[in-house]
Amino acid sequence: MPTTKQVPPKKEVTTFAYALCHFVVDFACVSSMLCAVSRVLGESGQGSMEVVTLSILLYDIVAFTLQLPIGIALDQLDKNSYAALLSYALVGAGVILSLVPIALLEWPAILLLAIGNALFHSAGGLSVLNISQKHAGPSGIFIATGAIGVFLGTQSAQMGRLQIAFSLLVLLFLCASITRVVQKVNKKYWNIHNVPFAIPEFSSRTLLAIFLLCFVVALRSYTGIVMAFPWKSEMLLLALSILGVFAGKALGGMVADRIGFRTTAIFSLIAAATLFVPSWEMPLMGLLAVFFFNFTMAITLASLANILHEAKGTAFGLASFSLAIGALPALLGLRLEHPLVLSAMSLVSALALGVSLTLVKDTVATGPFGHERMLQAAQVAETAGEDALTVGLSEPAEELATEDGLTGEVKLSVEDYPAAKDKLDAEGKQAEGK
């Protein structure tokens, strides 16, 4: 009697699951943080606006800079899903605390929200990078949803707080349930884990490439804040600009996987630089500029992760830390708001990305303009070969683990397969000689 073979779920489920949770977490954090800050605004007395500014600055600094040490820790602990579950609890506590009408409780509420936000981004981002196979598409999808969450969180901050808070808590519980399901599916079918943590000694070329990638992220962060288009006061155009950010981040990674990281980065930033020039007077040009400018977020993140292949959480933390560094001057009041400034920063970003991706072209598989499709095709073929090897060696690997006295789950990465195969071949030859 023929038996039907069970088809395991696609690993891409992880990307979409964490992308949805990313939206919820950013929505909850921004909405609740602004709710807590609004209590200070309602107080009389001199200096309330300074306190509000300090509150927002505290949230941004903690939420972004903390992702670097958390990323380093997760690389070594290999507890991504548990970290994500803890993040929902912290954010939920921050949501509840933001409702208490006591101004002094603003500070612990903001800290809970910021720490929870940092913990989720590191855990979710690392989990997505683990299945990306050097591609930028999954990272682009994961980071894109945050823009929608921040926008809706800002808009909902002054709405009926009890209703909003209750909805946020329900959504956070849903995220926890989704994360648990992904965790169980991973344990049953995929067995995806962080690779053993290591930071190798880099050449001066690689160190320069990492610096330039971080510089581009910081510059993008600053540019995103100072995009003070005069037409942003119209709600429809503001919403469309947020959709442009979302679409640019999501599609940028997909396009880069098709035609190459460097080609996508250079041409998208040159297009953005050109479109920024008339963007003040022509909203359509501004919307297109925002769209193309955001193409490179997934590229820079994927490139950092490919360079730091055995420390992807650290790579994600570096990108987030760079975002914080770039945002700091703008948050402190240094704003160069002019279309030509935006255009110039786009061109500088294009140059820096072009140089950095050239320095590490072997690591990120981007190659010269005429060879990107060939290199991408070779990368896909290599990935397919690794997947085939995984399937072919899964059962022998389990047997080998049992013989060696291992218990629990088998954690055999692609890098372990050659050694495992050699041992199995040797045992086969011994059996033939008996």
Chain position carrying tokens 């954090």: 29
Predicted TM-score (pTM) of this structure: 0.82
For 195, the enclosing helix (H) or strand (E) is none
What would the pLDDT profile of 388-433 be if each residue is shown by its tens digit?
444 444 444 333 333 333 333 333 333 443 444 444 444 444 444 4
**Token duo for residue 429:** 């030859």
| Fold agreement between 11-194 and 203-367 | yes
- State the amino acid at position 312 in one-letter form: K
Alpha-carbon span 245 to 23, nearest angstrom: 14
Q: What is the dihedral of CA 343, 347, 350, 353, to 10 degrees?
A: -110
CA distances from 370 to 127, 263, 304, 356, 430 (A): 33, 10, 23, 18, 50
Alpha-carbon span 4 to 401, nearest angstrom: 27
Classify domain 203-367 at the CATH superfamily level.
Answer: MFS general substrate transporter like domains (1.20.1250.20)
Q: What local confidence, expressed as pLDDT, does residue 183 receive? A: 95
Q: What local confidence, expressed as pLDDT, does residue 129 receive? A: 96
Q: Which residues of the chain have pLDDT under 50?
A: 1, 44-46, 366-375, 377-378, 386, 388-434
Secondary structure class of 4 (helix, strand, coil): coil
Alpha-carbon span 225 to 413, nearest angstrom: 41
Q: Give the rounded distance of the alpha carbon of 359 from its chain centre.
A: 23
What would the pLDDT profile of 114-129 be if each residue is shown by its tens digit?
999 999 999 999 999 9
What would the pLDDT profile of 308-350 be if each residue is shown by its tens digit?
999 999 999 999 999 999 998 988 888 888 999 999 999 999 9
Q: Which CATH number fits domain 11-194: 1.20.1250.20, 3.40.50.720, 3.40.50.410, 1.10.3720.10?
A: 1.20.1250.20
Q: Domain locations in the chain?
A: 11-194, 203-367
CB of 56 within 8 A of CB of 331?
yes
Closest CA to 336 of 244, 224, 237: 224
Q: What local confidence, expressed as pLDDT, does residue 103 receive? A: 76
Distance between start and end Cα atoms, the chain = 36
Q: What local confidence, expressed as pLDDT, does residue 359 receive? A: 93
Q: What local confidence, expressed as pLDDT, does residue 50 receive? A: 75
